[in-house]
Structure 1
Amino acid sequence: MDETVQPVDEYVTRAPARALRPWVGAYSGYRQRGIPPVRHLGLPSPWLTVVITLDDPLHVVSHPDAQQPGGRYDALVGGLHVRPAVIAHGGRQSGMQVALHPLAARSVLGAPAGELAALDLPADAVLGSEVDRLRDRLSVLDWGARFDLLDRWFTDRLSTPSTDLPAGLGTACRRLVGGDGVATVARATGWSARHLTTLVRRETGLSPSALGRVARFDRARRLLQHDAGLRVSDVAALAGHCDASHLVRDFREFAGLPPTTWRAQEFRSVHDTDPLLAAGSGDDDEL
């Protein structure tokens, strides 16, 4: 680290415009200079990830899909996954991150989220040169104006609803993320468990049971991260695990290490969108 550089560590968040909240979970912006180099884990969550850097590229050392080689990205779109990514920076980074509902993928990205499962792709491979123009515009604004621009950009992308989402799928995904089991959700929709599994996997990239487990894990991870006074058993109860042993099992599977070790090693990550947000109050089937 260059000791002549005055350290900078900015981290800002804002909720999207109200009309976007069923589909865009949160915006976050970050700017860091002159801090120690670090690696951290990009953990599974029920949200797609969109990262737009403002200077140095994002360095992904390893992806959730071990067959995908690491790389550097000016902007990235990440699908849902069940294995952690490893992200590194050398003491300097700046950018914006968006948590995107997987059922918004058809409207925003032009393809179902299932096509992005476990992948991190250059954003221009998904969105074309439009994302380069967006990045250029964001780079010359302050944080407030950046968030306003993202509101306008996502509003434009979501203004034409996808007609390919089956009626009832939004409600089904919301119930799965909330903790309802596959059989319960299938009965409520009138679909067979097989049909529900086919639809959810196609539109999110995960099976119904995996989507529910990842959402529960994400709740637990955020509780651990933001309340150091909580015991693992408390977090397990609050997040919806049967007991602490189930929470530990999920952490070993999704993060590769137990929760207490993860909490000791990981400080606040600019790539962890805050706060913990539900799918919103709108009717998902309107998308």
Structure 2
Amino acid sequence: MSVDEYAQARPSAALLPYVGFYSGYRQRGLAPATHRGLPSPYLTVVFTMDDPLDVAAHPDPRQTPGRYAALIGGLHLRPALLTHPGRQSGVQVALRPLGCRALFGLPAAELGGIDVDAAAVLGAPIVAEIRDRLCSASSWPARFAAIDDVLGRRLFPVAVAPEIRHACYRLLGGGAARSVADVAGEVGWSPRYLTDRFRAEIGLRPKEAARIARFDRARRSLSPSTRLADVAAAHGYADQSHLVRDFRAFAGCTPTRWVADEFGFVQATARLMTEDREHERLTTTPGLADAAGR
């Protein structure tokens, strides 16, 4: 008997500034498959429930393939390749870049472009507690509540410059496109200084982060029935060829190939991603009254 479950939920109010959403999955009796873990505006945290997570290729090609009971992946510019033999289960946490300090006590830049064993960051006892509670819970809401409980006990004070917060809102929050020069002007910094400070905190340059955010919005709007030219125009690409270029760079394939392979995943995640961009718009103040000039 095959099992193919997928569930999503928001975190608790205390964690919502740091975590976009939770995704739970359980599959058994399916055909073996390979999934592309694409660049996105979130760090990826995965806690498995049964078999380890098999990473056949990391975003950083210098990392060797590995198996993980729990994994943390930083912001990246290349796809990861994840394989499973027809069964897999766990919960994925979409972590906002500035949430890395709040939950792990370190800037997202320290994890930029790499995957690490979550036990090396959270500690083996915490990872074991989360996995035990996930496995013993009887429903997805109970599993998400367990992660809420454990992560909620780990919140660190977050001290991030308001200029960086503002830049993250402008470049990653899903609003109207902004150039780095425009954002730098809004916070009173030079483009070069903003680039240096942003990269030191997030792990990507501002232009890279904005490009990833646009790509993520575009690929989640794809379906077998959409026209690539329409998607490109709706998300600020100069033309269809520029959208295809980003797909080849970030997914390692064309948009058509990706939709054919993974459209089911797009359907499952598109709604909460749209809601999360609305949350960013409503809860983040666009203005920056206390930015210091430089």
Is the TM value for this pair above 0.5?
yes
1:54: how far off?
A: 0.3
Residues in 2 aligned to 1:118 and 1:88: alpha-carbon distance in whole angstroms: 19
Residue 225 (structure 2) pairs with residue 229 (structure 1): yes
Post-superposition CA distance 1:206-239 (Å, at most 9, x none): 1000000000000111111xx3321111111222
Unmatched 5+ stretches in structure 2: 289-294
2:205 paired residue among 199, 204, 207: 207
Asked whether the 8 Å contact 1:49–1:100 carries over to 2, the reply is: yes
**RMSD between aligned alpha carbons?**
1.8
Q: Provide closer, same or farther for how the CA distance between residues 273 and 156 of structure 1 changes in structure 2, counting only shifts above 3 A.
A: farther
What is the correspondence of 1:1-287 to structure 2 with a 5 Å cutoff? 6-129=1-124, 130-141=126-137, 142-158=139-155, 160-163=156-159, 165-177=160-172, 178=174, 179-224=177-222, 227-269=223-265, 273-274=269-270, 275-276=272-273, 277-278=276-277, 280=280, 281-283=282-284
Asked whether the 8 Å contact 2:18–2:102 carries over to 1, the reply is: no
Residues in 2 aligned to 1:228 and 1:17: alpha-carbon distance in whole angstroms: 34
Residues in 1 aligned to 2:38 and 2:95: alpha-carbon distance in whole angstroms: 15
Letter in 2 for 1:222: R
Residues in 2 aligned to 1:197 and 1:273: alpha-carbon distance in whole angstroms: 31
Asked whether the 8 Å contact 1:16–1:27 carries over to 2, the reply is: yes
Task: Output the TM-score relative to the length of structure 2.
Answer: 0.88
Post-superposition CA distance 1:145-186 (Å, at most 9, x none): 11112222333333x3222x1123112111012321100000
Unmatched 5+ stretches in structure 1: 1-5
1:273: how far off?
A: 4.9
- Select the structure with the greater relative contact order (CA < 8 A; seq sep ≥ 6): 1
Letter in 2 for 1:94: S
Asked whether the 8 Å contact 1:97–1:273 carries over to 2, the reply is: no
Aligned pairs, number: 275
Task: Output the TM-score relative to the length of structure 1.
Answer: 0.90
